[in-house]
């Protein structure tokens, strides 16, 4: 079913970048779970290896499938993701006040992660059929709005506003990519601003407002998020040029960093590997995104192009928001660093996304 | 299709991709600039903060709200207690420090070491409690040698102190250290191991009001764990002070009267439902719980046959006995099975089916009408009433009088009591209701069970002319600064199911109990004040037992009930008294009720 030409065009470069980023993640995770005083975190390293292994499996399975097949299955995949989101609201496990996880046996799955892929595919399918060089008009945007709003609402109800907004932002890049009529765009920007003001007044819960306000002025919450950001900044800053060295981070070992194996993993890396390590990490991400946009460029099929852009948008936003958050440039929202942070759903989803890119890349010569 | 020509091709996409790529590169440039700023420009500062000095988060616990009585007198206070702690990481060398500490305080090194090892080891940066509540005699040497004891901290912590140990213990409750189950429950989001929370009584129920909100501060500490400077501070929000409706003098008097007996006294303001006193005997000293109860003390509390940990006013259920005749009278009059002129002849017994039902007075009351039946507590009259009403009509009136469900007073774990119906018996016991049982029911001697506070609420409602007020203890809530936050307004739960005329008849019977020549509650009368009331004697074992045998074994003696209110013209106090195994309501419970009323109304206290 995979012909030889496809195999010959396997994208080794993309695989290498993926392995490097995952490797950096493992280095940081090892430090985060072994250098501290908390033995309960230790099993997470082995768990992450298992997750990476299964993620690689998913990646292989994904790139074996022709994107054209994916295009055909897209409505089913999308519907499946939405059903999972509904299931999470009904029978999900509550952790820290929100219902985000589905327990399947001993595994926990975060369907909102998969929903991002579902939305990307669904939008790509729609835009591949409807995009014109003239740009999308208001009417043509109604369907995509529906495609995005449904999962947004379901995720918002969990409640997980951060992931919900992320879905909207991914869709935003994809939509801007396929172009919107100038008149419509102006209208949308104005409406968006209006909606934000209305959302602030009517929809945001107190703790969500608190997060935004804390971000704007960390002094508001010096005991909560403000404290986390300050500790994270100390960790990053204290790395200086070359870092303190592997397993030598002090902020990390003192358990000052919250969520240091998931959302704040970057602080661990920055403390131990310094500015040089960070430059390397940032360059890796940049390479990954330029590589994937190049895949989009080379694809001969519009669905493939737009999917590749969507996947890039997803990985980009996650990386950018996570980095901004731990450096005190953005509010503290629970977004993991793709391929690097600990977390089963996030790893599997990211590798599935890479698999999609590889699938598009391998078939770039096929008509 | 608006035109095949307009459909995008590779070149068109290429242009759009360039824009996207530009955006991504700009974004990562910003990240790099930020990294450069943090790590290269300010790296030195942050390195300093992370190695030589440390920024730590310290919680500032709120001071817990105080509890006052209705007169504004303090009942529950916070007093400083001193805990000895160590931060193992800052106490290097640990063994030397502990040895020095041991020679100063006399606490064995092994004990302290054990605690350090158990709570995270020698490198932990979290403080470990070495000893709680050290006295001032240990505090002084530790303070003096502070600089030879790196990492050792004396923490001042407010400790709950109950000014009148044992007084209103069931009502006020006590604090205890939070346990892991309570932390996991999520009801105390700010609490952590070692914190004290309300475990019982008002301390538990009013926890959200009393607790306040935690504050905290970011501090920079040196290598020895001492605070160098404070960076940020959020003040704790102190808990609210609460004022109870309880009158301390009355509460003390009620408890003194119960001393040595097992039982309860509940006094209400009949015009509002405010709890004036709520005593439960035997009691316990709450300060023992705050300091940590010894195993021996806990065992002696647990094994005491008087069940000191139970609030008898709200949690203990008793047969209502003749007090129930108030309910039976209302039901009979309202259902018109009798009226004020109806009279029955009491010969001391009443035959029903193949059984003989006896009146407590063997020789009988002779011709008896409603008022006399209440005053002299004639059983035969109420056998007749029960026979005519049937179990379910009686149950309806009992429920309407507020029985069979918790009164709603602000204490957790209030018992419902039990109002039997035919349906209830079928479901619970699998047998049909026997009509003879209704006869016993009408004199309060069947399956029915009530709590002392329900009885107090009932007599208070009769006293005020029929309004059932929900009993309450919390009078008002004040912020720490003294501003009144809330004042409790009486809540009307319902109305007695009795017309003015019929209720007046019942009131007349209750007046007769205390004031007529042959009334069963004459002992409760007070010079200068008109008291009304009702006595009750709840059988613990059936009448078949010989009187002498019952008397000889305390646990088989009957429970003594008395309910009363005064002054009759405009009642300001309603009381319910029960003394377990006190035998006669008239002899054992009535004097207590009288003295409680005397104390409240400021009358001369008669001694007898």
What is the rounded CA–CA span in Å between residue A157 and residue B599? 60
What is the rounded CA–CA span in Å between residue A326 and residue A231? 9
**pLDDT digits 0-9 by tens, B324-351:** 999 999 999 999 999 888 989 998 889 8
**Exposure b/e, B266-280, CB count within 10 A at least 16 = b:** bbbbbbbbbbbbbbb
Using a pLDDT cut of 90, give the percent of chain A over it: 43
| Higher per-residue confidence, A254 vs A48 | A48
B-chain residues within 8 Å CB-CB of A231? 55
- Average pLDDT (A85-107) is 78
Does the beta-carbon distance from A297 to B32 stay under 8 Å? Answer: no
Q: Are B593 and B534 in contact (CB under 8 A)?
A: no
Phi, psi for residue B427 in degrees, rounded to 5: -70, -40
pLDDT, position B1: 36
pLDDT, position B214: 84
* DSSP H helical ranges for B345-483: 370-375, 379-389, 391-400, 422-429, 435-442, 452-463
In this prediction, residue B606 has a pLDDT band, given cuts at 50, 70 and 90, of: very low
pLDDT, position B607: 45
Q: Is the peptide bond before B282 cis (omega within 30 degrees of 0)?
A: yes
pLDDT, position B608: 44
Q: Which of B81, B67, B132, B128 is nearest to B105 (CA)?
A: B132
* ipTM of this complex: 0.90
pLDDT, position B135: 79
**pLDDT digits 0-9 by tens, B84-141:** 888 887 777 888 888 888 888 888 888 888 888 887 777 777 778 888 888 778 888 8
In this prediction, residue A273 has a pLDDT band, given cuts at 50, 70 and 90, of: very high
Beta-carbon neighbour count of residue B141 at 10 Å?
14
pLDDT reading at B66 higher than 60: yes
Out of B70, B127, B322, B377, pick the active-site residue. Answer: B322
DSSP B539: -
CA separation, residue A156 to residues A89, A182, A345 (Å): 10, 30, 18
CB pairs under 8 A between A and B: 145
Of the listed ranges A189-193, B85-89, B367-371, B379-383, the least confidently predicted one is B85-89
Structure tokens at B540: 């613990």
Q: Are A210 and A221 in contact (CB under 8 A)?
A: yes
Q: Which of A138, A160, A131 is nearest to A309 (CA)?
A: A131
In this prediction, residue B2 has a pLDDT band, given cuts at 50, 70 and 90, of: very low
Which chain B residue's Cα is nearest to A177? Answer: B16
pLDDT, position A213: 72
pLDDT reading at B314 higher than 50: yes
- Average pLDDT (A77-105) is 83
B325 three-class SS: helix
Which chain A residue's Cα is nearest to B25? Answer: A286
pLDDT, position A182: 85
Beta-carbon neighbour count of residue A52 at 10 Å?
20
Q: Please, what's the largest Cα pairwise distance for chain A? A: 61
In this prediction, residue B546 has a pLDDT band, given cuts at 50, 70 and 90, of: very low
pLDDT reading at A75 higher than 80: yes
Does the beta-carbon distance from B40 to A296 stay under 8 Å? Answer: no
- Average pLDDT (B473-486) is 88
**pLDDT digits 0-9 by tens, B424-448:** 989 988 888 888 888 888 998 888 9
Query: What sign does the dihedral A266-A272-A274-A279 (CA atoms) show?
Result: negative
What is the rounded CA–CA span in Å between residue A177 and residue B525? 94
Architecture of domain B57-244: Alpha-Beta Complex (3.90)
Which of A90-104, A121-135, B285-299 has the largest mean confidence? A121-135
Of the listed ranges A140-144, B143-147, B595-599, the least confidently predicted one is B143-147
Q: Which residues 6+ apart lie within 8 Å of A350 measured at CB?
A: A55, A315, A338, A339
Burial (Cβ within 10 Å: 0-12, 13-18, ≥19) of residue A153: exposed
Phi, psi for residue A83 in degrees, rounded to 5: -60, -40
pLDDT, position B363: 87
Does the beta-carbon distance from A222 to B233 stay under 8 Å? Answer: yes
Q: B471 vs chain A: nearest CA distance in angstroms? A: 36
Reduced to 3 DSSP states, what percent helix, strand and coil does chain B have, rounded to the nearest 5?
40, 25, 35
Burial (Cβ within 10 Å: 0-12, 13-18, ≥19) of residue A32: buried
Test the A interface: residue of B7, B21, B38 with most A CBs within 10 Å: B38
**Is residue A367 included in any domain, yes or no?**
no
pLDDT, position B149: 84
**pLDDT digits 0-9 by tens, B253-279:** 999 999 989 999 999 999 999 999 999
Phi, psi for residue B403 in degrees, rounded to 5: -90, 165
Does the beta-carbon distance from B57 to A134 stay under 8 Å? Answer: no
A-chain residues within 8 Å CB-CB of B231? 222
Three-point CA angle B221, B226, B229, nearest 5°: 50
Does the beta-carbon distance from B55 to A231 stay under 8 Å? Answer: yes
What is the rounded CA–CA span in Å between residue A335 and residue A162? 7
Please, which residues 112-171 of chain B have a Cβ atom closer than 8 Å to chain A?
120-121, 123-125
pLDDT reading at B3 higher than 50: no
pLDDT reading at B496 higher than 90: yes
What is the rounded CA–CA span in Å between residue A123 and residue A148? 8
What is the rounded CA–CA span in Å between residue A150 and residue B60? 44
Distance of CA A271 to the CA centre of its chain: 23
pLDDT reading at B309 higher than 80: yes
Using a pLDDT cut of 70, give the percent of chain B over it: 93
Establish if B53 touches chain A: CB-CB under 8 angstroms. Answer: no
3-state SS string for chain A: CCCHHHHHCCCHHHHHHHHHHHHHHHHHHHHHHHCCCCHHHCHHHHHHHHHHHHHHHHHHHHHHCCHHHHHHHHHHHHHHHHHHHHHHHHHCEEECCEEEEEEECCEEECHHHHHHHHHHHHHHHHHHHHCCCCCECCHHHHHHHHHHHHHHHHHHCCCCHHHHHHHHHHHHHHHHHHCECHHHHHHHHHHHHHHHHHHHHHCCCHHHHHHHHHHHCHHHCCCCHHHHHHHHHHHHHHCCCCCCCCCCCHHHHCCCCCCCCCCCHHHHHHHHHHHHHHHHHHHHHHHHHHHHHHHHHHCCCHHHHHHHHHHHHHHHHHHHHHHHHHCCCCCCCCCCCCCCCCCHHHHHHHHHHHHHHHHHHHCCCCC
Q: Which of A133, A223, A230 sits opposite B6 (nearest CB)?
A: A133
| Higher per-residue confidence, B403 vs B55 | B403
pLDDT, position A96: 63
Beta-carbon neighbour count of residue B182 at 10 Å?
16
Of the listed ranges A22-31, A138-147, B231-240, B487-496, the least confidently predicted one is B231-240
What is the rounded CA–CA span in Å between residue A331 and residue A334? 10
pLDDT, position B110: 85
pLDDT, position B176: 85
Burial (Cβ within 10 Å: 0-12, 13-18, ≥19) of residue A93: exposed
Q: Are B209 and B232 in contact (CB under 8 A)?
A: no
Three-point CA angle B53, B55, B56, nearest 5°: 125
Structure tokens at B137: 């005699």
A-chain residues within 8 Å CB-CB of B49? 234, 238
Of the listed ranges A233-247, B139-153, B183-197, the least confidently predicted one is B183-197
Domain spans of chain B, in order of start: 57-244, 248-282+313-601
Establish if B50 touches chain A: CB-CB under 8 angstroms. Answer: yes
B-chain residues within 8 Å CB-CB of A309? 17, 20
Does B7 participate in catalysis according to the annotation? no
Distance of CA A60 to the CA centre of its chain: 20
**How high does pLDDT run on average in chain B?**
86
pLDDT reading at A358 higher than 90: yes
Domain boundaries, position A251 = 4-362
Please, which residues 5-24 of chain B have a Cβ atom closer than 8 Å to chain A?
6-8, 10, 12-14, 16-17, 19-21, 24
Establish if B51 touches chain A: CB-CB under 8 angstroms. Answer: yes
Beta-carbon neighbour count of residue B179 at 10 Å?
12
pLDDT, position B223: 61
Q: Are A313 and A175 in contact (CB under 8 A)?
A: no
Please, which residues 227-256 of chain B have a Cβ atom closer than 8 Å to chain A?
231-234
Structure tokens at B441: 């029911």
Test the A interface: residue of B7, B24, B51 with most A CBs within 10 Å: B24
Q: Which of A222, A233, A297 sits opposite B17 (nearest CB)?
A: A297
Which chain A residue's Cα is nearest to B3? Answer: A132
Q: Which residues 6+ apart lie within 8 Å of B600 measured at CB?
A: B247, B250, B267, B276, B572, B573
| Higher per-residue confidence, B183 vs B560 | B560
Q: Which of A231, A275, A305 sits opposite B13 (nearest CB)?
A: A305
What is the rounded CA–CA span in Å between residue B130 and residue B153? 10
Q: Give the H or E element holding residue B182.
A: helix B180-184
Distance of CA B254 to the CA centre of its chain: 18
pLDDT, position B545: 43
Structure tokens at B394: 């009686």
Structure tokens at B212: 């306040």
Q: Are A202 and A195 in contact (CB under 8 A)?
A: no
**How high does pLDDT run on average in chain A?**
86
Q: Give the H or E element holding residue B11.
A: helix B10-35
Which chain B residue's Cα is nearest to A221? Answer: B234
B-chain residues within 8 Å CB-CB of A230? 55, 218
What is the rounded CA–CA span in Å between residue B277 and residue B351? 43
pLDDT, position A85: 92
pLDDT, position A249: 76
DSSP B588: I
What is the rounded CA–CA span in Å between residue A297 and residue A305? 7
Q: Are B509 and B333 in contact (CB under 8 A)?
A: no
Establish if B30 touches chain A: CB-CB under 8 angstroms. Answer: yes
Instruction: Name the domain count of chain A.
Output: 1
Of the listed ranges A103-112, A128-137, B217-226, the least confidently predicted one is B217-226
Using a pLDDT cut of 70, give the percent of chain A over it: 90
Establish if B57 touches chain A: CB-CB under 8 angstroms. Answer: yes
Question: Does the domain formed by B248-282+313-601 have CATH 3.40.920.10?
Answer: no
**pLDDT digits 0-9 by tens, B173-200:** 998 888 888 877 777 777 777 788 888 8
B-chain residues within 8 Å CB-CB of A223? 57, 215-216, 218, 234
B548 three-class SS: helix
Which chain B residue's Cα is nearest to A266? Answer: B35
């Amino acid at each position: 079913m995979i012909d030889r030409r496809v195999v010959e065009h396997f994208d080794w470069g993309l695989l290498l970048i993926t392995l490097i980023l995952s490797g950096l993640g493992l280095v940081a995770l090892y430090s985060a779970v072994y250098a501290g005083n908390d033995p309960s975190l230790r099993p997470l390293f082995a768990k992450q290896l298992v997750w990476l292994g299964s993620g690689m499996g998913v990646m292989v399975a994904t790139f074996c499938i022709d994107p054209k097949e994916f295009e055909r299955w897209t409505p089913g995949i999308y519907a499946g993701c939405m059903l999972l989101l509904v299931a999470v609201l009904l029978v999900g496990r509550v952790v820290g006040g929100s219902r985000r996880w589905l327990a399947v046996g001993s595994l926990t799955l975060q369907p909102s992660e998969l929903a991002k892929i579902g939305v990307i595919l669904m939008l790509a399918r729609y835009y591949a059929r409807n995009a014109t060089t003239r740009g999308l008009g208001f009417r043509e945007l109604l369907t995509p709005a529906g495609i995005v709003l449904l999962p947004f609402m379901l995720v918002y109800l969990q409640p997980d506003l951060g992931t919900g907004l992320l879905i909207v932002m991914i869709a935003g890049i994809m939509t801007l990519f396929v172009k919107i009529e100038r008149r419509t765009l102006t209208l949308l920007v104005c409406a968006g601003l209006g909606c934000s003001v209305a959302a602030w007044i009517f929809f945001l819960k107190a703790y969500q407002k608190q997060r935004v306000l804390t971000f704007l002025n960390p002094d508001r919450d010096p005991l909560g998020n403000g404290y986390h950001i300050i500790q994270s900044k100390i960790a990053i800053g204290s790395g200086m040029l070359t870092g303190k060295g592997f397993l030598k981070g002090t902020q990390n070992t003192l358990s000052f960093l919250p969520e240091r194996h998931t959302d704040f993993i970057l602080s661990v890396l920055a403390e131990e590997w310094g500015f040089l390590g960070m430059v390397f990490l940032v360059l890796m991400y940049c390479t990954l995104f330029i590589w994937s946009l190049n895949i989009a460029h080379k694809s001969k099929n519009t669905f493939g192009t737009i999917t590749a852009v969507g996947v890039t948008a997803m990985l980009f936003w996650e990386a950018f928001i996570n980095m901004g958050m731990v450096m005190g440039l953005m509010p503290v929202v629970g977004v993991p660093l793709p391929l690097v942070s600990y977390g089963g759903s996030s790893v599997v989803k990211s590798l599935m996304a890479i698999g999609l890119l590889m699938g598009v890349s391998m078939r770039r010569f096929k008509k | 299709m608006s035109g095949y020509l307009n459909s995008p091709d590779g070149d068109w996409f290429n242009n759009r991709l360039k824009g996207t790529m530009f955006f991504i590169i700009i974004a990562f440039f910003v990240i790099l600039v930020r990294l450069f700023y943090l790590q290269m420009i300010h790296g030195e500062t942050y390195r300093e903060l992370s190695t030589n000095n440390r920024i730590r988060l310290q919680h500032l616990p709120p001071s817990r709200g105080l509890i006052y009585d209705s007169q504004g007198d303090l009942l529950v206070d916070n007093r400083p207690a001193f805990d000895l702690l160590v931060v193992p990481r800052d106490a290097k060398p640990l063994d030397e420090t502990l040895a020095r500490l041991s020679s100063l305080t006399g606490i064995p090194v092994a004990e302290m070491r054990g605690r350090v090892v158990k709570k995270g080891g020698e490198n932990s940066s979290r403080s470990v409690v070495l000893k709680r509540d050290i006295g001032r005699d240990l505090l002084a040497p530790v303070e003096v040698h502070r600089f030879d004891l790196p990492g050792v901290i004396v923490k001042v912590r407010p400790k709950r102190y109950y000014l009148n140990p044992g007084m209103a213990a069931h009502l006020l409750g006590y604090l205890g250290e939070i346990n892991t189950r309570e932390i996991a429950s999520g009801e105390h989001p700010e609490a952590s191991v070692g914190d004290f929370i309300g475990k019982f009584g008002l301390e538990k129920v009013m926890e959200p009001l009393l607790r306040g909100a935690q504050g905290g501060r970011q501090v920079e500490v040196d290598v020895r764990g001492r605070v160098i400077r404070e960076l940020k501070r959020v003040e704790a929000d102190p808990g609210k002070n609460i004022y109870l409706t309880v009158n301390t003098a009355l509460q003390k008097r009620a408890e003194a009267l119960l001393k040595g007996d097992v039982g309860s006294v509940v006094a209400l303001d009949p015009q509002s439902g405010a709890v004036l006193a709520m005593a439960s005997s035997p009691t316990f000293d709450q300060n023992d719980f705050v300091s940590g109860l010894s195993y021996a003390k806990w065992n002696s509390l647990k094994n005491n046959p008087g069940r000191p940990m139970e609030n008898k006013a709200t949690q203990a259920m008793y047969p209502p006995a003749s007090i129930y005749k108030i309910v039976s009278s209302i039901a009979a009059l309202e259902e018109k099975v009798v009226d004020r002129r109806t009279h029955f002849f009491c010969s001391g017994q009443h035959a029903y089916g193949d059984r003989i039902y006896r009146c407590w007075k063997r020789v009988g009351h002779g011709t008896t009408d409603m008022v006399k039946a209440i005053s002299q507590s004639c059983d035969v009259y109420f056998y007749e009433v029960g026979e005519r009403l049937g179990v379910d009509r009686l149950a309806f009136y009992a429920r309407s009088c507020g029985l069979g469900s918790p009164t709603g007073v602000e204490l957790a774990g209030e018992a419902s009591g039990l109002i039997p119906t035919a349906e209830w018996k079928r479901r619970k016991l699998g047998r049909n209701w026997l009509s003879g049982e209704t006869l016993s029911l009408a004199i309060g001697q069947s399956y029915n069970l009530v709590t002392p506070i329900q009885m107090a609420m009932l007599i208070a409602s009769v006293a005020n002319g029929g309004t059932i007020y929900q009993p309450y203890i919390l009078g008002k809530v004040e912020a720490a600064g003294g501003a009144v936050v809330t004042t409790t307004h009486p809540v009307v739960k319902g109305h007695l199911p009795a017309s003015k005329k019929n209720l007046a008849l019942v009131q007349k019977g209750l007046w007769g109990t205390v004031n007529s020549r042959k009334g069963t509650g004459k002992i409760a009368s007070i010079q200068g004040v008109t008291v009304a009331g009702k006595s009750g004697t709840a059988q613990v074992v059936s009448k078949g037992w010989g009187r002498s045998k019952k008397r000889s074994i305390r646990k088989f003696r009957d429970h003594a009930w008395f309910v009363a209110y005064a002054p009759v013209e405009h009642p300001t106090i309603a009381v319910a008294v029960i003394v377990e195994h006190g035998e006669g309501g008239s002899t054992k419970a009535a004097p207590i009720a009288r003295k409680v009323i005397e104390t409240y109304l400021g009358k001369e206290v008669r001694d007898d």
